[in-house]
Chain A
């Protein structure tokens, strides 16, 4: 049986751990708020750019841009977004699981898949399995900036234009709410308009069809705006992923703190029992001794 001192030591250890998890939870909560704010800041911009592209799409032909053209898919690039740090529940394993599943499906169809990893966790995962990475970007967890999105977009667009792959997908955790994150696989290239429904409505309503002055030209506008839209889509995924990471960490650390609390309670109970047992035993000894002397 464990001695009182052993149990006390364990309680102390658990208490220390719970202090750390509590602190991590707090930090994650603060970071979550910040990440959520950045997501909200991006929203008007991204909404607007899609709207504009929708308007343009009606004026321009579908093949006006190389990034719009569909090719038979023989090779696909998969962009996997994970975090740099762990201790955030199933956040990373969910994404990686989905990525592996998706890769297998494509492989079964005879499609080649190359992986581009964002975040240390994805990089390490593929490295451990000796799967070569086309590209990897680490150290941006928690401080993803628009320039990172631009960099990723540029790599992808140049690879796509160079016919190194025919389609690009991005796998990331979408932020639904603090307790719910959902893994999403989204097609990045060839570029497709997101709000198809809305566009159709707009096309059917003739009075909404305005004749714009285009400067320099419809094609010129398309040419500059489509890569921008790709950048924005990547940036949004980065921010979503980041927000999900903090939310996931917050939940995981909250659970850990709670478990630690329960453990401390249980251990305290055991410790009290042991102490009482010791006292009772000592008392009995004394009483026994006194009785012996009396006789």
Chain B
């Protein structure tokens, strides 16, 4: 089976780099899967999970909003943050969620869109970590 060269890049370094069989990403307009030989694609990713299948084994990643490009057997994911499901600090995400919920409940002096995005990220982190733990 043909392989797809995948790179997940964040401002803090490269998170993943290597050949994979399949990538399932959460696009802004809905989830999509990419196999080797996919047509050229540029897509916005929303906050959510990214599932990589390499050597028949799936691994799960959290991706904070980003962008994906597929071109000539290569796929590049640019994300502001990306973590492997096992590496997610659930406690920290929980704390953040609590804090942001309080902040948003107060409804004053808050940059609403930003806080909401941060909250969404925290929730997604928790969800992904729980859903894929031990898989």
Binding site for B on A (CB under 8 A): 38, 41-42, 44-46, 48-49, 52, 55-56, 146, 154, 210-216, 220-221, 224-225, 228, 232, 235
Contact = CB atoms under 8 A, between A and B. Distances in A.
B54 interface: no
Interface residues of B, number: 24
Contacts of B7: 44
The 4 closest A-B pairs by CB, nearest first: A41-B13, A215-B43, A212-B40, A213-B41
B24 to A, nearest CB: 15
B126 to A, nearest CB: 20
A48 B9 contact: yes
A215 B78 contact: no
Contact of B28 (A55, A210, A211, A220): A220
Contacts of A38: 12
Contacts of B9: 44-45, 48
A231 to B, nearest CB: 9
Contacts of B40: 210-213
B39 A213 contact: yes
Nearest to A223: B44
B69 interface: yes
A225 B78 CA distance: 10
A44 B9 CA distance: 7
Contacts of A235: 11
A34 to B, nearest CB: 13
Given A41-B12, A48-B78, A211-B40, 11 more contacts: A42-B11, A44-B9, A49-B67, A52-B42, A56-B42, A210-B40, A213-B39, A214-B41, A220-B28, A225-B67, A235-B11
Nearest to B32: A215
Contacts of B42: 52, 55-56, 212-215, 221
A224 B28 CA distance: 11
A28 to B, nearest CB: 22
Contact of B44 (A48, A212, A224): A224
12 contacts: A44-B7, A44-B9, A46-B11, A48-B76, A48-B78, A52-B42, A213-B40, A213-B43, A214-B43, A215-B43, A220-B28, A232-B11
B80 interface: yes
Interface string B54-71: 000000000000010101
